[in-house]
A = this chain, B = another copy of it.
Amino acid sequence: MKFTLTQNDSKSKARAGLVETDHGTIETPIFMPVGTAGTVKAVHQRELDTDIQAQIILGNTYHLYLRPGLEILEKAGGLHKFNGWEKPILTDSGGYQVFSLAGTRKIKEDGVMFKSHIDGSKHHFTPENVMDIQRSIGADIIMAFDECTPYPCEFSYARNSMEMTHRWLKRCIDRFDSTEGKYGYSQTLFPIVQGSVYPDLRKQSAEFIASCDREGNAIGGLSVGEPAEMMYEMTEQVADILPSDKPRYLMGVGTPANILECIALGVDMFDCVMPTRNARNGMLFTSEGIINIRNEKWKDDFSPIDPAIAGYVSTFYSRAYVRHLTISKEILAAQIASVHNLSFYLWLVKEARKHIIAGDFSVWKDQMVKKVSTRL
């Protein structure tokens, strides 16, 4: 993987760059649609490529490990071949999902025992086997196995957890560096900064992660319920420590405004289920603000969802039609809203990149944050 810094914004810490992988180049800042079980929910691969213009998508280790399972994925030749997505893929480590299974998992120094949410079967994730699993899935970017602390979180828990995450990282690196990709292309490992909302822990973690000198770095444990200001503060502090010649990935963030603010703090990569999950609940993100498509006010609004967004669905379908589909619980409602919201997220980061390169990012960002936060 190669990262090239194309442009630094003069009035903020925003930057434009290029991440080159064996499956193609990613223009940063970038938003990565979440494809939990090998599918971005309700979206065809062709739509991801040509309408949404996604450059990289996420897969989820926990889900893919359980179903279809590694045997099938290996026989297929990896996730790219299995689902037909030929551009880059990033997999999370599965830690986030496993730790969410409160009551059915046990964390020890060695790793985590957990029960499948599908059939109750018992499984064990360790830093080592999570590297092996992600090798088998065949992601271009592999995430370290970490513990994502909840919010709020006691200082002592956060410190102990962070220290374990650091010890696990060493084991991840040892395993990753002593193994090879299975499908002939290269994979890279991103470590993850933790430390909850405690500045001294975040500093300690960011310095440790930076010292590991991997090809890219991630910021985890944020956007888990803390106030947005606290999330920005932690992000800024960490981003300032992480090396500027490597991409910075802020995990699980966020709203359109969150993404713009964090681009301004020097973040390059984002992922979030919000555009697809909220789509399935009738929330449309547009360049003028947020639409709750269930509202009566849209019932005879025959204007397109968002004429500013180039993708097919955003200009083809009217708000009135999408409202009708949503009220009628039609599958097409979820399809349209998902493709539209992702098209909007990708449009947003592409516009941000343009403005960074044009040199007027900060002015544009402040206007845009207001717009995208408005309820229409």
**Count of A interface residues, CB-CB < 8 Å:** 39
CB neighbours (8 Å) of A42 from chain B are 331-332, 335
Residues of B within 8 A of A76 (CB): 300, 302, 318, 320
Let me know if A316 is at the binding interface, CB within 8 A: yes
Which A residues, 71 to 87, have Cβ-Cβ distances below 8 Å to chain B?
71-72, 75-76, 81-84
Q: Mark A313-324, 1 if CB is under 8 A from B, else 0.
A: 100111011001
Question: Which of A42, A302, A332 has the most chain B CB atoms closer than 10 A to its own CB?
Answer: A332
CB distance from A130 to the nearest CB of B (A): 21
B330 and A39 contacting across the interface, CB-CB below 8 Å: yes
- In the complex, chain A residues 255-279 whose Cβ is within 8 Å of any chain B Cβ: none
Contact B75 A39 (CB under 8 A): no
Task: Decide: A321 near B83, CB < 8 A? Known: A42-B332, A332-B44, A335-B42.
Answer: yes
- Contact of A41 with B330 in the complex, beta carbons under 8 Å: yes
Select A68's contact among B83, B324, B335, B336, beta carbons within 8 Å: B324
Q: Is the interface of A mostly helix, strand, loop or mixed?
A: helix
Task: State whether the Cβ of A46 lies closer than 8 Å to any Cβ in chain B.
Answer: yes
A67 at the interface (CB under 8 A from B): yes
Given A299-B72, A300-B75, A312-B46, is A67 in contact with B324 using a C-beta cutoff of 8 Å? yes
A300 lies within 8 A of B41 (CB): no
Give the chain B neighbours of A44 by CB distance below 8 A: 312-313, 332, 335-336
Interface assignment of A26: CB less than 8 Å from any CB of chain B: no
A352: min CB distance to chain B, Å: 28
If the complex has contacts A75-B300, A328-B67, are A321 and B46 also in contact, measured as CB distance less than 8 A? Answer: no
Q: Which residues of B contact A41 (CB under 8 A)?
A: 330-332
Query: Which residues of chain B are within 8 angstroms of A317 by Cβ–Cβ distance?
Result: 84
A316 touching B46, Cβ below 8 Å: yes
Q: Is the CB of A321 within 8 A of B67?
A: no
Enumerate chain B residues within 8 angstroms of A335, measured Cβ to Cβ: 42, 44, 331, 335
A68 x B299 contact (CB < 8 A): yes
Determine if A131 is an interface residue (Cβ-Cβ < 8 Å). no
Q: Which residues in B have their C-beta under 8 angstroms from that of A327?
A: 67
Please report which residues of chain A, range 332-349, place their CB below 8 angstroms from some CB of chain B when the two chains form the complex.
Answer: 332, 334-336
Q: Counting CB contacts under 8 A, is A38 at the interface?
A: yes
A330 CA to B63 CA, complexed, in Å: 12
- The interface residues of chain B lying within 8 Å CB-to-CB of A334 are 331
7 CB contacts below 8 A, A to B, read A42-B335, A46-B312, A68-B324, A76-B320, A82-B320, A331-B335, A335-B335
Q: Contacts A45-B316, A76-B300 given; 5 further ones with Cβ under 8 A?
A: A37-B325, A44-B335, A72-B320, A76-B302, A331-B334
